[in-house]
Amino acid sequence: MSEADERFARARARFDDGLAALQARRYEDAERGFLDALELVPGRPSALGNLAAVRLLLGRPAEALAAAEQALAAEPGHRDALWQRAQALSQLGRLAEACAILEALVAAEPRLLPAWAALAETLGALGRVDEALAAAARALALDDRDPGHWTLRGDLLRQAERPAEAAQAFREALARGGDASLNRYYLAAVDRGEPAPPTAPTVYVRGLFDGYAADFDRHLRGALRYEVPERLTRGLADHGPFERALDIGCGTGLCGPHLRPLARHLVGVDLSRPMLEKASALRRYDELRLADATEHLHAQAARGPHYDLLVAADVFIYIGALEPLFAAARAATRAGALFCFSAEEPEAPELDVQLLPSLRYAHAEAYLRRVAAAHGFEPLTLRRETIRHDQQRPVEGLYVWLKRR
């Protein structure tokens, strides 16, 4: 065997190791296998395409994009590399570019089912809902047994403000074995007759923000004209400095620059790893924790030290029943601690809590006051101010500052 043949055989073996590890969901091992194969035989599109795929699974879309583009440089029409490039671009917030690739893929292969579904999702994210519904219909025509296709149709109909049709699609998804927590959450948002779950499903929140991380700050600051961190932290200096502060649902760290001067020790907690990676790059936090906020607070209560400032900017929109969070907040704070948060208000004034068609939970002022009082917090200030803009219109909400007795 020649030296070249031997290198190729070793590369093939490491490539096969990578595939086996990928199938077993050992993603770091898979990446190492593909990298080893490429070191032995550089530029192989198959290895580069699989490297892109595993880097997407590891939550590193920029590196995935680089690998996919190397594969396409070697073989411009490589379908798998085009697919991985579209996925990477989507995760990086470059939706128009992703959309163009997906449109080309379905034009070349009209029965390419995953591309139709991904195209529908991407068009929906771009606000092209009618086109997205058409793409979702193509996915359903190819396979109407997949509950995910019905969930996708329902979510697009929700966005199109067609609640009755959306509700029927979510019921079809449930009938076909779709994720019960996710589809019942969607269903409750479009049908007030359905009971709303106490919180948004973790799979929804984590998936939303894992995919949103790259474009999060630009979208909030630009399209939504988001000012909650500034408004919520304004005036806190009059009560500080704080020994230990917690940024609940810290996301990419938008509150970090405002909290850092006020706290000797600043902790952020969030469900999304990509969000926390962006927050870490700011170097504003002393600790960042990948965890559910209520679970983190209970753990902190058990081990100490306790917090003297809690901030939750746009967090309650993902939590319906606030009692568990408030119980954990009381357990993890010192007497005199501040708890500051924003909230949206129900469209139906008779409701304490309402899951809106936007998939946000809204809370009545009276309910917030009752829950706070029941858990030993008294109001310092409550104001109604703009939280965000929706289709260029301001959306008002509540800004609340509480003090623990």
Q: What domains can be seen in the chain, in order of their start residue?
A: 1-93 (1.25.40.10), 105-195 (1.25.40.10), 207-404 (3.40.50.150)
Q: Find the mean pLDDT for residues 356-366.
A: 95
Cα–Cα nearest to 397, from 235, 259, 252, 228: 228
Across the chain, how many H-helices and E-strands are there? 19, 9
Q: Which residue has the tokens 């593909």?
A: 34
**Residue 114 identity (one-letter amino acid):** P
Residue 404 scores a pLDDT above 70: yes
Q: What is the pTM of this model?
A: 0.86
CB-side neighbour CA atoms (13 Å) of 32: 6
pLDDT tens figures, 84-102: 999 999 988 899 999 999 9
**Residue 151's pLDDT band (cuts 50, 70, 90):** very high
The answer to whether 362 touches 354, Cβ cutoff 8 Å, is yes
Average pLDDT, the chain: 93
**Residue 64 identity (one-letter amino acid):** A
Residue 68 scores a pLDDT above 60: yes
Q: How is residue 144 annotated by DSSP?
A: S
CA angle 361, 364, 370 (to 5 degrees): 115
The confidence score (pLDDT) of residue 210 equals: 76
Buried/exposed code over 238-275 (b: 16+ C-beta within 10 A; e: otherwise): ebbebebbbbbbbbbbbbbebbbebbeebbbbbbbebb
pLDDT tens figures, 258-295: 999 999 999 999 999 889 999 999 999 999 999 999 99
E strand residue ranges, 262-304: 263-270, 287-290
Residue 359 scores a pLDDT above 60: yes
Q: Find the mean pLDDT for residues 171-178.
A: 98
Residue 220 scores a pLDDT above 60: no
CA angle 136, 138, 139 (to 5 degrees): 65
The answer to whether 365 touches 343, Cβ cutoff 8 Å, is no
